[in-house]
Amino acid sequence: MNDTAYAAFHRASIEAPEAFWGREAARIDWHVPYERVLAYEAPPFRQWFAGGHTNLCHNAVDRHLANRADQPALVYVSSETGAEQVYSYRMLYEEVARFAAILQAQGVKKGDRVLIYMPMLPEAVFAMLATVRLGAVHSVVFGGFASASLAARIEDAAPVVMVTADAGVRGSRVIPYKPLVDEALRLAGTRAPARVIVVNRGLAEAPMMKPGRDLDYATLRQAHLDDRAAVEWVESSHPSYILYTSGTTGKPKGVERDTGGYAVALAASMEYIYGGRPGECFFSTSDIGWVVGHSYIVYGPLIAGMSTLVYEGLPTRPDPGIWWQLVERYRVTVMFSAPTAVRVLRKQDPDWLHRHDLSSLRALFLAGEPLDEPTARWIADELGVPVIDNYWQTETGWPMLTLCRGVADLPVKYGSPGLPVYGYDVRLFDERTGEEVGPGQKGVIGVLPPLPPGCMSTVWRQDQRFLDTYFSLFPDRLVYSSFDWGIRDEDGYFTILGRTDDVINVAGHRLGTREIEEAVSSHGAIAEVAVVGVADTLKGQVPQAFAVVRDASVLADPASRARLEAEVMAQVAAQLGAIANPARVYFVSQLPKTRSGKVLRRSIQALAEGRDPGDLTTLDDPAGLDQIRQALSDVAASQP
C-alpha cells in the first residue's frame, strides 16, 4: 500500500467512522455487544460502542489464557536493584486477580477510585490491571511528585484505596515515598483514602505504618493467596482511569478515559502504527505515571498478546549499552522512547549500540517532544532501522500524527512526525480568523470532532472545563485545540513548531521557539537547546537560547564561548533571518528537565526574567537549573 492508498484509508476513517471503527471493534472481546458504534447527540461529547459491555483487564490478560498462557507477558528488569523477573500470562493473571481480591477486601467496587503512587514495579502494573478488573478507576501519579502535588490529586480523585511503596530508586539514589505519602494524606484531609497498601522493597528505613490505615502488601498477598476476583463487566463509556496532565496549576485537570473505545484504539494501533505481533516483545522506556506508560507499557502490548518490558533505571546505568542489552536478551521487535533519551545516548560512545545483537528490532518510535533532524538521523544510522516520530498528547491517549507503517510503507521525513493518523481529522487554523491555512502556512493544530476512540471523554467531573479548555478556540466552530503550532508541506506532512503559548512576539513578528531551536541545534557543537521568550522593554519579547555543548571545555573559556555564540547567531540568521536571532546564547552542560524528559522551559524563562522558577515538583535533577543560573550569572558579570 502506497501513500495514495493510505490517504484513502485515512479518508474512510473520517468519512465513514462508524463503518471503520465497527470493523476495528472485533479486535477485542465484548461481554455484551454494543448497540451503536457512535452515539453523538451532544457534540463534542461522544460515546463509542454505546451499550456494549467489556473490561480492560479481561482483554489484556484473561482472554489470552486459552492460547498463550505460558508465553511471557510482563518482563521486569531493574538496573537499579538488579531484580529481573518474567511473568507468563498465567502468572500475570494469578497476580492481578489476587490483587483485585485484595482491593475488593478493602471495599473497592465498581466506580471507586484507586490512586497508585509507585516506582516502576510489577506490583504497579498488577494494581492498575486489578483496579480496572473490578470496574474501578485508577489514577496513577508519577512516583516522586512532591506531597502538595500528590495531595491535590488525592483531593480531586477522592480514592478509596491508595497503593504505594516504601521507596523508589533513581541513579542509585533512594527516594523514600512513604514520608511523601504521609504528608500528602495529611494535606488531603477528609478526601484521603481509608486504606493505604504499601509495597515494602526494603530500600529505605522501615516505613512508619499507621495502624488501621496502612497495610503491608506482602502480608495481604499471603492472606489472599488463593483468592481470585472475577471480572466486572462495564459499559464501554465507563471511565477506566484518570490521568492528571503534567504542569497543572491550581485545581488539577484530570483527563478521563473510557473503557471500550480505549481498548479498541490501542488494539488497532498496535498493528497499524507499531506493527507489533502477538508473541513478540515491546519495550517502552517510559514510566507508568505518564500516558505513554498507560497505553504502551501496560494496556496496548498486553491487549495485542505481546510481552511488555517494564524497566526501572536510566539509559546509561550500569552502562550506556543497557537498553541494547535488553533488546538482545528479550528479542525486542518494537521499541518506544523519547528524543531526550536518544540525545543522552548520542553523547556516549556509539560502540555501545554495536556490542549487542539488535537483529530482532524492526523499528524505534519516539514521542514526547519534537524530534530534531540531527538526532533522528544519528539514531537511524546507528541502529539501521526506521526511526518513526509520533505526536500525541495525554488527552488523545494514542498518536494523532505519525507514519502508520503497519498500513503503508510511507517515507520518513526527518523533523516531521508525519501524517494525520486514521480517525483524526487534523487541520491547521489561523488563530485569529478560524480559517484553515494551506501548505507552508503556520497554524494552530486542531482536530474536528468527533474525536476518535481512545481520546479523553472529559475532564474528571468538570464537563464545562473540558469544553472551555479544549473546544473554545473559535466562538462559531467546534474544534479540539492541541495548543500547538504546526505547518504542513505539500505532501501533507506536519511539522510541530511549538506550543501556541511559546510563540515569541519580537517587535510585532511572531516566531515559534521550535524553529529557532532547530536552527541552533543544527550547529555541530550543540547537542541540545531550549529557546524561551524573555520580556524586553523595547521589543516586547526577545528569544534567548540555552544550549548544551558537546565539548564541556567551552564552558570554562570566555573566548571560546564568544566565538561559538557568534557562529550560532550566524547560523540562525542564515536559516531564519536576523529577526530570529537570539538576544543571547547561553552555554550549559545540561538543561533542567522533568522526570519524563521534558525541558522545563517555563522555569528557564522565569530565571532569565529574574523571577521565581515556580513549581519544581517534576524536576529530575536540580543541577540543570543551577546550570541556567550560573550561565546567566557569568554573562551578567562579563557585562561592562
**Domain of residue 418, CATH code:** 3.40.50.12780
Give the SS3 label for residue 61.
coil
Same domain, 586 and 527: yes
For residue 327, is it within any domain?
Answer: no
Is the domain of 474 the same as that of 534? no
Mean pLDDT in residue range 347-363? 93
Question: Is 60 in the same domain as 200?
Answer: yes
pLDDT beyond 80 at 540? no
Please tell me whether residue 581 adopts helix, strand or coil conformation: coil
Domain around 281: 3-313+390-485
pLDDT of 588 strictly over 70:
yes
Tell me: do 113 and 171 sit in the same domain: yes
Q: Which three cell numbers stand for residue 397?
A: 491517549
Q: Are residues 475 and 517 in the same domain?
A: no
Q: Mean pLDDT throughout 99-108? A: 98
Please determine, for residue 313, whether its predicted confidence score (pLDDT) is greater than 80. yes
Report the alpha-carbon distance of residue 573 to residue 357 in Å, rounded: 43
Q: Is 493 a domain residue?
A: no
Q: What is the pLDDT of residues 492-531, one digit of tens each?
A: 999 998 777 666 766 555 576 877 888 898 899 999 999 9
Which of 485, 519, 552 is the last residue before a domain boundary? 485
Sign of the CA dihedral with 406 first, then 407, 408, and 410 last: negative
Percent of the chain scoring above 70 in pLDDT: 95
For residue 347, tell me if it sits in a domain.
no
| Domain edge (last residue) among 485, 517, 542 | 485
Contact 584, 544 (CB under 8 A): yes
Q: How far apart, in whole angstroms, are the C-alpha atoms of residue 39 and residue 36? A: 7
CATH number, domain containing residue 540: 3.30.300.30
| Model confidence pLDDT, tens digit, residues 139-186 | 999 886 778 889 989 999 999 999 999 999 988 889 999 999 999 999
Q: Are residues 119 and 30 in the same domain?
A: yes
Q: Is 207 part of a structural domain of the chain?
A: yes
CA distance 161 to 59: 24
Over residues 31-54, the pLDDT tens digits come to 999 999 999 999 999 999 999 999
Cell of 639: 557585562
Say if residue 416 is in the same domain as residue 517.
no
Cα 84 from Cα 152, distance rounded (Å): 34
pLDDT of residue 433: 87
**Domains held by the chain: number:** 2
pLDDT band at residue 325 under the 50/70/90 scheme: very high
More confident residue, 252 or 208: 208
Q: Are 490 and 439 in contact (CB under 8 A)?
A: yes
Query: Would the pLDDT of 249 be above 50?
Result: no
* pLDDT of res. 601: 86
Average pLDDT value over all residues in the chain: 92
Higher pLDDT, 507 or 474: 474
d(CA 282, CA 265): 17
In the beta sheet, which residues pair with residue 139? 115, 242
Residue 136's alpha-carbon distances to 157, 161, 247, in angstroms, are 12, 11, 26
**Residues 99, 59 within the same domain:** yes
CA distance 197 to 126: 13
Is the same domain home to 513 and 477? no
Instruction: Specify if 135 maps to a domain.
Output: yes
Identify whether residues 44 and 178 lie together within a single domain.
yes
Q: What is the pLDDT of residue 466?
A: 96
**Per-residue buried b or exposed e for 143-165, using 16+ beta carbons within 10 Å of the residue's own CB:** bbbebebbbbbbbbbbbbbbbbb
- Would you list the DSSP string of 206-246? PPP--TTTEEEHHHHHHHTTT--PPP--EETTS--EEEEPT
Residue 473 in any domain: the answer is yes
Between CA 360 and CA 370, with CA 364 as vertex, the angle to 5 degrees is: 175
Contacts of 490 (CB under 8 A, 6+ apart): 439, 440
* pLDDT confidence bin for 597, thresholds 50/70/90: confident
Same domain (yes/no): 474, 515: no
176 against 612, higher pLDDT: 176
One-letter amino acid of 420: P
Q: Which pLDDT score is estimated for 580?
A: 79
Residue 284: pLDDT above 80?
A: yes
Q: What is the DSSP string of 366-420?
A: E-SS---HHHHHHHHHHH-S-EEE-B--TTTSS-SEE--TTT--PPP-TT--BEE
Of 106-110, 245-249, 430-434, the least confident: 245-249
Best CA proximity match to 395, nearest among 602, 501, 597, 254: 254
Spatial contact of 636 and 610, defined as CB atoms under 8 Å apart: no
The yes-or-no verdict on residue 225 having pLDDT over 90 is yes
Handedness of CA 280, 284, 287, 288 (dihedral sign): negative
Does residue 495 belong to any structural domain of this protein? no
- Give me the mean pLDDT over the 341-353 stretch: 89
Q: Read off the pLDDT band of 248 (50, 70, 90).
A: very low
- Are residues 465 and 560 part of one domain? no
In a domain, 502, yes or no: no
Burial 523-541 (b: 16+ CB within 10 A, else e): beebbbbbbbbbebeebeb
